[in-house]
Chain A
Amino acid sequence: MQEPASSKIENNSKESESLKVSALWTYTLHLADSNLILAQRNAEWCGHGPILEQDIAITNISLDLIGQSRNFYQYAAMLIGDGATEDSLAYLRTEREFKNCLLAEHPNGDWAQTVLRQFLISAYQFLLYEKLQHSTNEQLAAIAAKALKEVTYHQRWSSEWVIRLGDGTEESHQRMLKAIDELWRYTGEMFMPADYEVAAGFDVALLKDDWMKKVSSVFEEATLPVPEKVFMQTGGKTGTHTEHLGYILTELQYLQRTYPNAEW
């Protein structure tokens, strides 16, 4: 028996609707994961910063990022339903399920590498949240508008450090060059849309030109070269990570894995 055409269309639109919802929560998880993993990395500096004020600065940034990731996780948990909570999403998913950008999980290295990683990501987040705050999705728009105020500080602070070190001493300049060499290969991924970004209607490729402009102007002031023709590593956004993520999660999730449901 042939199915009436109208019900077929209805089924298709239902299917595309649920696909859209699952794309939306995967996208929201991607935003949450990138923030959480970068926050965890920055927090490793706690008590080890080069001077007290900068130790406080990097951990303040970490705190902002955790706050933003909590907002995204809470929203994702609501979309997923089925008993998901912000805690279950942060503490009980495996590395293949994490959708953060590779750049966020890269080790701290020295101070040059840490501030450069922060700048490359903050410059991206600034442009992303600027767009996202006008999204028709009210919850994402509200989180982005709030986060943008904080990211403005992160971008300014990290760009000042890139300039200070790039245009500093011979030693600091060399360290900045090394950091660029180490990190640049992970920047391309941010602008290559994952399937869920396309399905959810967020075109990150559009941010690339403005990001390059911002990075180029800061690098120029820092007397640093912008690398050309670098092979870009990808995979983080779809769950294929570098060897580093497992170690981060081991530390981050230890307590909930060892003492399930522990509270304090």
Chain B
Amino acid sequence: MVTESTITTQKIWDILEHVTDPEIPVLNITDLGIVRDVKLNGDEVEVIITPTYTGCPAMDMIAMNIKMALIENGYSKIKITSVLAPAWTTDWMSEAGKTKLKKYGIAAPNKHFTIPVDGIECPLCNSVNTKIISEFGSTACKALYQCQDCKEPFDYFKCH
């Protein structure tokens, strides 16, 4: 049983680091910058999150997974609040998150390419001889590319 005195926000943040994005399972929600704040209102835990894309179907699942993770760790009074302002930006993605993305085969958001154009670095062979195939990829947050050197098609996490 978790009592009020044993709750600290740091403990909550540690738990949230184990909640992953259902569509990009190598990233946890703090890597993504989805968690904006954690508050303790008495014995109630409030987690404030912001959506990446408005239509992202993962958001409902993420909210549910946060609840599940906190329940598993003994918390019972949980409130998930979704805020829209300020709007989420890929600037909030951690450097650790970007490294994990690349390892997973997804090119990380790059500030020099706010509009997806040719030349995004291939996450496999690091060539910049790449071509955009479509501004819209397998999920709302990604664009589709192909490397002209190693020929591998890959996703690029759009800079937003």
Binding site for B on A (CB under 8 A): 53-54, 56-57, 60-61, 63-68, 70-71, 138-139, 141-143, 145-147, 149-150, 153, 156-157
Contact = CB atoms under 8 A, between A and B. Distances in A.
Nearest to B115: A156
Interface string B35-59: 0000000000000000101111100
Interface in B109-132: 115
Nearest to B116: A153
What 5 A-B pairs come out closest when comparing CB atoms?
Answer: A67-B55, A67-B54, A142-B85, A63-B55, A57-B136
A141 B85 CA distance: 9
A143 B133 contact: no
Contact of B140 (A60, A139, A141): A60
A61 to B, nearest CB: 7
Contacts of B137: 56, 60
Contacts of A65: 55
Nearest to B55: A67
A63 B138 CA distance: 12
B58 to A, nearest CB: 11
29 contacts: A53-B144, A56-B136, A57-B134, A57-B136, A60-B136, A63-B53, A63-B140, A64-B53, A64-B54, A67-B53, A67-B56, A67-B140, A70-B54, A70-B55, A71-B84, A138-B85, A139-B84, A141-B85, A142-B85, A145-B84, A145-B86, A145-B87, A146-B51, A146-B85, A146-B87, A146-B88, A150-B54, A150-B55, A153-B135
A147 B134 contact: no
A138 B87 CA distance: 13
B84 to A, nearest CB: 4
Contact of B134 (A53, A67, A138, A149): A53
A122 to B, nearest CB: 13
A157 B136 contact: yes
B123 to A, nearest CB: 20
A153 B56 CA distance: 15
A142 B87 contact: yes
A64 B139 CA distance: 11
B54 A56 contact: no
A142 B84 contact: yes
A245 to B, nearest CB: 22
B102 interface: no
Contacts of B51: 67, 146
B143 to A, nearest CB: 9
Nearest to A68: B54
B56 to A, nearest CB: 7
Nearest to A71: B54
**Which residue, of B54, B83, B115, B160, has the highest number of chain A Cβ atoms within 10 A?**
B54
Tell me which of A60, A61, A147, A153 has the highest count of chain B C-beta atoms within 10 A of its own C-beta. A60
Contacts of A139: 84
A67 B140 CA distance: 11
A138 B53 CA distance: 19
A59 B84 CA distance: 23
B51 to A, nearest CB: 8
B53 A150 contact: yes
Contacts of B54: 64, 67-68, 70-71, 143, 146-147, 150
A104 B153 CA distance: 34
A157 B135 contact: yes
Contacts of B86: 145
Given A53-B133, A66-B55, A70-B54, 8 more contacts: A53-B136, A54-B134, A57-B135, A67-B55, A71-B54, A138-B85, A139-B84, A142-B84
